[in-house]
Amino acid sequence: MSKALGEFEIIRNYFARAPQGEGVALGIGDDCALLQAPPSGQLATSMDTLVAGRHFPADADPAMIASRALRVNISDLAAMNASPLWFTLALTLPSSDAVWLKKFAAGLLETAGQFGISLVGGDTTAGPLSITIQVIGHTQKPLRRDGASPGDSIYVSGPLGAAAAALPVVLAEREVSEAIRREAEQVYYFPEPQLTTATAIGKFATSALDISDGLLGDLIHICEASGVAAEVNLDALPIAPLVHQLAADNAIELAACGGDDYQLCFTVPEAAAGQINQLDLAAVPIGRLVQGEPQVRCSYRGRPWVAPSPGYRHF
Amino acid sequence: MSKALGEFEIIRNYFARAPQGEGVALGIGDDCALLQAPPSGQLATSMDTLVAGRHFPADADPAMIASRALRVNISDLAAMNASPLWFTLALTLPSSDAVWLKKFAAGLLETAGQFGISLVGGDTTAGPLSITIQVIGHTQKPLRRDGASPGDSIYVSGPLGAAAAALPVVLAEREVSEAIRREAEQVYYFPEPQLTTATAIGKFATSALDISDGLLGDLIHICEASGVAAEVNLDALPIAPLVHQLAADNAIELAACGGDDYQLCFTVPEAAAGQINQLDLAAVPIGRLVQGEPQVRCSYRGRPWVAPSPGYRHF
């Protein structure tokens, strides 16, 4: 699908119908989109690529691929306490497949509508299937990784391990009941960006990030950026029900090291912990930051615990 | 190069050294970059993907690939009369090749420095080589495609056809002298975004775009967006010297239909044409807009001329 072979038709047919939301002065169809930034605060931007066979099975439902691609990007906005505004899409496709494109576009625009984010541009090219999305959001109170201090409490925004437990099912490596299969697909393709939690904790939190590579693999980035060490009590980890159903024997490993959950990990000063606990959130305290070289030390059932590998299996 | 295999090292080693320019509150290394938009005007954004084997030879010099990838994106900003601010990079690589990455990053950051645009984020993934760049610029006077009227004069900002003439040399399909080969590479990998011309014509022009798919293939977009027809006198086309050296027999076809030159095509009201001609620009009037269904009619040596194919050969 080079430009000569129908790029303009694809854009016209499937993506130019995207509704234009807040701040979009000119959407798809010119050399650039024109955008009106909010008068105060800052813009937040992030970009993620999903490659077929690596981040999703090439034969997955195109609407589900689109959902996941956009949601994982919006999760980066949530991790920064930014509200979604606009996104651009670079879609590389092996061939111009109208059925696939129609499903993909429908899934993408439905997801965009749910999160109030406008598709404002992009590019389509021929090549091995991959999807790059770049998102722009707006924040009045950004949550960076470098604001944490010793003594801060560490929280996660909700249950962990579900996506790692779901992965063998999503890859069709494991046979399960239809109900479990649907739940696994839901977890994997429809991760929930934690925008509400981010807004609620915005004025208390000293740092935040989203857990895409696994709690321990991501928390170390807060330690490095803030110059602190972390002590995590794995007994406190909220474990997703799907983990107990699919991988009870490895529950702690999956919750501590499994990627793709897109919950937030954040820190708050000890004095604010009471206020966090009073918010109507699923967030759970799991440890605290201490002085020391950047590292994450874990305990489980009263003993030190070491992750079996630096990162758990990543699709 | 999944995240487990060194994404963080690649970012740290090669891209996080990117200097942070205007409006960058937080650059690479967090969930999002944080950006401060200028207080007035609009933001302009565009995104382009270059795929190895389609938009450049896979074995080309990585620094030249980087130059081309960033320049074609900045050209979209120029076409909108936007000045470059920030960009994000999605780099998909078959394997983590330190030598390739070092050269690519050096070429990218050198080009970024030339145009005063800051790398603020991105993603690296394993997969077939491709490069997606998304640019954000700022404009006080956007040049859209839909503002032209019958009677407007049509201009091109400079010589055409060079990139199409250079292509067989770039693809090593044609043997030429070392001097010509270097000139062809220069034309193909270092296209010049027409930012200066865009600024100069900003207050006069009624529409503009950059010529990436060939003059005739792109001018039709102005016709469609503005609801006008175009009459182009091909005898007036400025033809790049390289065309005469490499493809004299097809000079008009290459200048009229060859892609990848990244000159601007723009329109100005007849009354402003005198002012445009007084500016110190290489821009040349090549025709005018008339009432009618969107189409581009060409004449050459006093006769109607029809392009041999809708788009000329596109890599």
* Predicted confidence (pLDDT) per residue in A125-180, tens digit: 888 899 999 999 999 999 999 999 999 999 999 999 999 999 999 999 999 999 99
Query: What is the number of other CB atoms lying within 10 angstroms of the CB of residue A50?
Result: 22
Nearest to B90 among A26, A126, A132 (CB): A132
Going by the DSSP 8-state scheme, the letter that residue B19 receives in this structure is P
Q: Which of A2, A15, A32, A45 is the best substitution to test chain B (most B C-beta atoms within 10 A)? A: A32
Position A309 in a domain? no
Distance from CA of A117 to the nearest CA of B (A): 15
Going by the DSSP 8-state scheme, the letter that residue A152 receives in this structure is P
> A235-250 burial by CB neighbour count: b if 16+ within 10 A, else e?
eebbbbebbebbbeeb
The whole-number average pLDDT for the span A5-13 is 63
CB contacts under 8 A, B 225-264 vs A, are: 225
Q: Check whether residue A247 and residue A222 sit in a common domain.
A: yes
Phi, psi of B303 (to 5 degrees): -125, 155
Q: Is B2–A92 a contact, with Cβ atoms under 8 angstroms apart?
A: no
Q: Is A86–B45 a contact, with Cβ atoms under 8 angstroms apart?
A: yes
Cα separation, A256 vs A75, in Å, equals 19
Interface ipTM above 0.90:
yes
Is B146 labelled as part of a ligand binding site?
A: no
Residue B197 tokens, joined: 């011309």
Q: Using an 8 Å CB-CB cutoff, list chain B residues near A79.
A: 31-32
pLDDT of residue B309: 64
Position A148 in a domain? no
Asked if A208 and A218 touch (Cβ cutoff 8 Å), the reply is no
Is B303 labelled as part of a ligand binding site?
A: no
Instruction: State the amino acid at position B248 in one-letter form.
Output: A
Cα separation, A211 vs A209, in Å, equals 7
Is B145 labelled as part of a ligand binding site?
A: yes
Q: Check whether residue B202 and residue B119 sit in a common domain.
A: no
Give the chain A residue whose CA is nearest to the CA of B4.
A311
Report residue A190 CA to chain centroid gap.
Answer: 10
How many helices and strands (H and E) does chain B possess?
Answer: 10, 13
Phi, psi of A163 (to 5 degrees): -65, -40
Asked if B119 and B15 touch (Cβ cutoff 8 Å), the reply is yes
Cα separation, A291 vs A314, in Å, equals 31
Interface check for A9 against chain B (CB to CB < 8 A): the answer is no
Residue where a domain terminates, one of A111, A139, A167: A139
Residue B56 tokens, joined: 């450049």
Residues 6+ apart with CB under 8 A from A14: A101, A102, A104, A105
| Parallel, antiparallel or unpaired: strands A24-26 and A33-35 | antiparallel
At B185 the three-state DSSP class reads: helix
Q: Check whether residue B133 and residue B157 sit in a common domain.
A: no
Average predicted confidence (pLDDT) for chain B: 91
pLDDT in tens, A78-128: 999 999 999 999 999 988 788 899 999 999 999 999 999 999 998 988 888
Q: Is A35–B55 a contact, with Cβ atoms under 8 angstroms apart?
A: no
Asked if A269 and A207 touch (Cβ cutoff 8 Å), the reply is no
Interface check for A134 against chain B (CB to CB < 8 A): the answer is yes
Position A296 in a domain? yes
Nearest to B128 among A3, A127, A213 (CB): A127
Q: Check whether residue B162 and residue B134 sit in a common domain.
A: no
Position B20 in a domain? yes
pLDDT of residue B22: 86
Residues 6+ apart with CB under 8 A from B315: B54, B55, B56, B167, B170, B171, B260
Q: Check whether residue B187 and residue B245 sit in a common domain.
A: yes
pLDDT of residue B312: 43
Cα separation, A188 vs A166, in Å, equals 7
Nearest to B35 among A31, A45, A89 (CB): A45
Q: Check whether residue B103 and residue B231 sit in a common domain.
A: no
Give the chain B residue whose CA is nearest to the CA of A226.
B30
Is A260 labelled as part of a ligand binding site?
A: yes
pLDDT of residue B314: 44
Distance from CA of A234 to the nearest CA of B (A): 22
Is A146 labelled as part of a ligand binding site?
A: no
Position B313 in a domain? no
Range of the domain at B33: 3-139
Q: Which of B5, B30, B219, B314 is the best substitution to test chain A (most A C-beta atoms within 10 A)? A: B30
Q: What's the Cα-to-Cα distance from B63 to each of A61, B8, B23, B106, B212, rounded to whole Å? A: 38, 21, 26, 7, 21
Q: Check whether residue A184 and residue A206 sit in a common domain.
A: yes
- Number of domains into which chain B is organized: 2
End-to-end CA distance of chain A: 28
Q: Using an 8 Å CB-CB cutoff, list chain A residues near B37.
A: 37, 43
Q: Check whether residue B124 and residue B166 sit in a common domain.
A: no
Cα separation, A127 vs B178, in Å, equals 32
Instruction: State the amino acid at position A69 in one-letter form.
Output: A
pLDDT of residue A2: 37
| CATH code at position A178 | 3.90.650.10
CB contacts under 8 A, A 48-77 vs B, are: 48-51, 54-55, 76-77
Query: What is the number of other CB atoms lying within 10 angstroms of the CB of residue A278?
Result: 8
Q: Check whether residue A236 and residue A283 sit in a common domain.
A: yes
Residue A21: which of A115, A106, A100 has the closest Cα? Answer: A115
pLDDT of residue B294: 97
Q: Is A30–B144 a contact, with Cβ atoms under 8 angstroms apart?
A: yes
Position A96 in a domain? yes
Q: Check whether residue A178 and residue A300 sit in a common domain.
A: yes
Interface check for A34 against chain B (CB to CB < 8 A): the answer is yes
Residue A144 tokens, joined: 């960076």
Asked if A50 and A315 touch (Cβ cutoff 8 Å), the reply is no
Position B29 in a domain? yes
Position B80 in a domain? yes
C-alpha angle A297-A298-A299 in degrees, rounded to nearest 5: 135
Cα separation, A143 vs A163, in Å, equals 24
| CATH code at position A13 | 3.30.1330.10
Residue A45: which of A21, A92, A90, A79 has the closest Cα? Answer: A79
Residue where a domain terminates, one of A139, A168, A184: A139
Asked if A212 and A259 touch (Cβ cutoff 8 Å), the reply is yes
pLDDT of residue A7: 61
Is A48 labelled as part of a ligand binding site?
A: yes
Q: Check whether residue A290 and residue A260 sit in a common domain.
A: yes
Strands, E assignment, chain B: 24-26, 33-35, 42-51, 83-93, 118-126, 130-139, 153-156, 207-210, 229-233, 264-268, 284-290, 296-300, 303-305
Residue where a domain terminates, one of B88, B111, B139: B139
Going by the DSSP 8-state scheme, the letter that residue B152 receives in this structure is P
Going by the DSSP 8-state scheme, the letter that residue B18 receives in this structure is P
pLDDT in tens, B210-246: 999 999 999 999 999 999 999 999 999 999 999 999 9
Q: Check whether residue B259 and residue B115 sit in a common domain.
A: no
pLDDT in tens, B133-142: 999 999 999 9
The whole-number average pLDDT for the span A221-225 is 97
